[in-house]
Structure 1
Amino acid sequence: MAGLERAIVIGGGIGGLTAAAALHRRGVRVTVLERAASLEPVGAAISLSPNALRALDVIGIGDDVRALAAWQGDGGLRAPGGRWLARTSAAAAAERFGGPLVLLHRATLIGHLAARLPAGAVRTGTAARLLDPGAPDRPARVGTPAGDLEADLVVAADGIHSAVRRELFPSHPGPVYSGFTTWRLVIPVPGVEFASHETWGRGRIWGTHPLRDGRVYAYAAAPAPAGERAPDDERAELLRLYGDWHTPVPEVLAAARPGDVLRHDVHHIAVPLPAFHRGRVALAGDAAHAMPPTLGQGGNQAIEDAITLAHHAADLPAYTAARLPRTTAIARRAVRAARLNMGTGPMATVVRDSALIALSRTAPALFLRGFDGIADWRPPAGAARPGGSAEEAGRMLAADHGRRGPEENTP
């Protein structure tokens, strides 16, 4: 890549490692600086939709991840008593958006991404801070305990509470509390069969999904004051909130131990940043556009960022132009979805559920249309590295002449 020889990635999560792999594939010497002692992610599973899988095709792991898809049957939305509010078809979604939805453990994806980097490219246990964002006539500079580093590009993928974002845009208000908290767990639940589903109650959500390795991924969300924690343990809190919901919710909770349950308050960036770059520094993932998880797009958008950034690494204004409008629109849709999901009014819940049932019966395709402009995104034409394989060239040609045509894939 002309004019770009050295890049530093701050943050060894999914977005940071994808960016590092994409830059490395284009011939850039990359160093990843991760504060944690290992790349073992904080979190449970991640859902990758076709847009992210096409992005992963660019770095050569899309098909490996697709092979991990576990559930190919029907699923949908349920009420706490078990009634189906809406049914969804994995086959119909794959046909509409050009691929499956894949649920996998975050550690599995991290392993695939790290394997795309050369030995020594990732430095764990290394705190980093931005000293100088750089300019056209000077490199960016990053401080570490072992000394300062210079780079032609710095990718800041340091999460929702990004220190780099605060350095670049000190007047930006930063993330705000979304008003609800989430619980997640990945455990074996022997002897229980179920259809992949999400259940909507009055101000509460539960989801249960099978993983390829035989374990079950479950998550829940409910309004709560910021920082609140259970008086005993989070498994007990889940039993209080969801213990009388339909199968397999009680069975999952019976199989769980208190230490299996992760709880995190949800924050998002309500005021969009003025840009995703400054100088030679680019923001990616939650550092740029943290959003509620209600559309399942947080990690997917970080992967899109990474591939697009590698493509526009020598022209960061083009990266901002490609990503800021799209992620802003998706983040706003996620906030609206959270308001619908987390509504606590009894009449509003009845109206919502009745509308879902009617819509599912009369126009089931409308549920899939809600992801038009999201799941059908394709990487920039030419995003595969120059001189790549014939398979890469074929994928990029298909992307350039995809089902959405030449127009921009913004929502």
Structure 2
Amino acid sequence: MEAVEDIVIVGAGIAGLTTALGLHRLGIRSLVLESSDGLRTTGFAFTTWTNAWRALDALGIGEPLRQQHNQLFGLQLTSTISGISTAERQFDATGARRGHEIRGVQRRTLLETLANELPSGTVRYSSKVVSIEESGFLKLVHLSDGSILKAKVLIGCDGVNSAVAKWLGFKKPAFAGRSAIRGCVYYDHSHSFEPKFFQFFGEGVRFGLIPCDDKTVYWFFTFYSSSKNEEMEESPAKMKQFMLQKLGKIPDNVRAVFEKTELDNIILSPLKFRSPWEILWGNISKTNVCVTGDAFHPMTPDIGQGGCSALEDGVVLARCLGEALRDKQSMSSEEEYKRIEMGLRRYAKERRWRAFELISTAYMVGYIQQGNGKVLNFLRDRVLATFLARQLLKMASFDCGKLSAS
């Protein structure tokens, strides 16, 4: 079976659904292909910084998400070696445009909010892409069920193992040598944590807590991988035991978060990133094909910008395509094709240096934060703590703009 679609988006994650909703707001229809049989909600939650809220406001879904997630008013960094706070930063609460707005947002809530704003039938589940071919101005997208879609625009939002990124010539993302365990704990009554982002650094580990609302706390734990760590991959019980042994000197209520987390609410994943040099020289777009989100710029989570930058990508791409496809009824097929190619080039130009900066900063911050050794520990805790906190806010100050340029 063959069908023609104007815009095909591969992947119904944050980047894919954001792009689809941005296009929908501009009156442009798209089809989102998702290989799973439902929304992929692994990861539990993520930090949404000021730049993410600007993108969510551009999409028109910022307010309902704010009502479900508490705002954080500070960042606290603590050494697990000494047990002493090494830096603390208060966030200006005067508003997203003048100050900083940070919240822990549950991934399921975000994805469902994005999906619910889309027209019925926009997302097609159980639709795995197996190959991509060229056919004149169109791209032939072959699916695992044997069907073929003819796409005028093909957008890869299909994660670190992206089939679209591979077609564009990108290499597989590199392993950063570290892994992350993530989890979420749900309290019957209110937890005791202040509305802050708590980060802890020790000998080769980095972890943190983010209160999402009055009853939910999201946490992460990153560490250097080894052959012994591979034994944990299929055993949440071993992951939990490993973490409890590595927590160091921390407050009892922080330790209790890890102790209280149910095994079903713990996952482990290796950390991967794309070389920043490949971002500078690679094909972010080519003819009528481009990539966004983790398919474009996978990065380590050390500045908390993975999901936030995917939101930025979606808004910028929708805006560029919206401008390209304006008054398309009066265009010939060749003119439409050229306008699409120019629009995707504009998107790539706008996002290239931003992605380069994010990947580079995340890797640098992670190296310092999770480094081991007396000298590095001393520099991190006594000299660089404030600098590292400043980097998080610097990366979060970006504004992706509105959906419409006018």
Q: TM class, shorter-chain normalised?
A: 0.7 to 0.9
Contact 1:39–1:110 under 8 Å retained in 2: yes
Q: Per-residue displacement from partner, 1:70-118 (whole Å, max 9, x unpaired)?
A: 1444341112254211112132695785441121110000011001111
Q: Aligned to 1:261, which of 249, 263, 266?
A: 266
Tell me how far apart the structure 1 counterparts of residues 270 and 75 of structure 2 sit (CA, whole Å).
27
| Count, aligned residues | 371
Q: Which residue of 1 aligns with 2:298?
A: 290
Tell me how far apart the structure 1 counterparts of residues 390 and 371 of structure 2 sit (CA, whole Å).
22
Q: Which residue of 1 aligns with 2:215?
A: 214
Tell me how far apart the structure 1 counterparts of residues 244 and 214 of structure 2 sit (CA, whole Å).
26
Contact 2:155–2:289 under 8 Å retained in 1: yes
Tell me how far apart the structure 1 counterparts of residues 399 and 127 of structure 2 sit (CA, whole Å).
34
Q: How does 1:213-362 map to 2 (within 5 A)?
A: 214-225=215-226, 228-230=230-232, 233-242=238-247, 245-270=250-275, 271-273=277-279, 274-313=282-321, 314=340, 315-356=343-384, 359=386
Q: How does 1:19-30 map to 2 (within 5 A)?
A: 19-30=19-30
Contact 1:178–1:268 under 8 Å retained in 2: yes
Give the CA deviation at 1:278. 1.4
Q: How does 1:170-209 map to 2 (within 5 A)?
A: 172-189=170-187, 192-195=191-194, 196=196, 197-209=198-210
| SS in structure 2 at match of 1:248 | helix
1:42 maps onto 2:42 in alignment:
yes
Contact 1:205–1:341 under 8 Å retained in 2: yes
Tell me how far apart the structure 1 counterparts of residues 94 and 383 of structure 2 sit (CA, whole Å).
21
Contact 1:157–1:286 under 8 Å retained in 2: yes
* Inter-CA distance 287–335: structure 2 relative to 1 (3 Å threshold): same
Q: Which residue of 2 aligns with 1:53?
A: 53
Tell me how far apart the structure 2 counterparts of residues 282 and 75 of structure 1 sit (CA, whole Å).
36
Q: How does 1:158-173 map to 2 (within 5 A)?
A: 158-169=158-169, 172-173=170-171
Q: Per-residue displacement from partner, 1:218-277 (whole Å, max 9, x unpaired)?
A: 111111137723276211111122275323232112212323211111011114241211
Higher helix share: 2
Contact 1:82–1:245 under 8 Å retained in 2: yes
Query: Could you tell me which amino acid in structure 1 is paired with residue 16 of structure 2?
Result: G
Give the CA deviation at 1:193. 1.4
Tell me how far apart the structure 1 counterparts of residues 24 and 226 of structure 2 sit (CA, whole Å).
43
* Inter-CA distance 296–94: structure 2 relative to 1 (3 Å threshold): farther
* Inter-CA distance 229–88: structure 2 relative to 1 (3 Å threshold): farther
Q: Which residue of 1 aligns with 2:120?
A: 119
| SS in structure 2 at match of 1:91 | coil
CA RMSD of aligned residues (A): 2.5
* Inter-CA distance 213–152: structure 2 relative to 1 (3 Å threshold): farther
Query: Could you tell me which amino acid in structure 1 is paired with residue 240 of structure 2?
Result: R
* Inter-CA distance 90–187: structure 2 relative to 1 (3 Å threshold): same
Tell me how far apart the structure 1 counterparts of residues 345 and 258 of structure 2 sit (CA, whole Å).
48
The TM-score, its normalising length taken from structure 1, stands at 0.83
The unaligned stretches of length 5 or more in structure 1 are 361-365, 385-395, 398-411
Tell me how far apart the structure 2 counterparts of residues 18 and 257 of structure 1 sit (CA, whole Å).
31
Query: Could you tell me which amino acid in structure 1 is paired with residue 193 of structure 2?
Result: F
The unaligned stretches of length 5 or more in structure 2 are 322-339
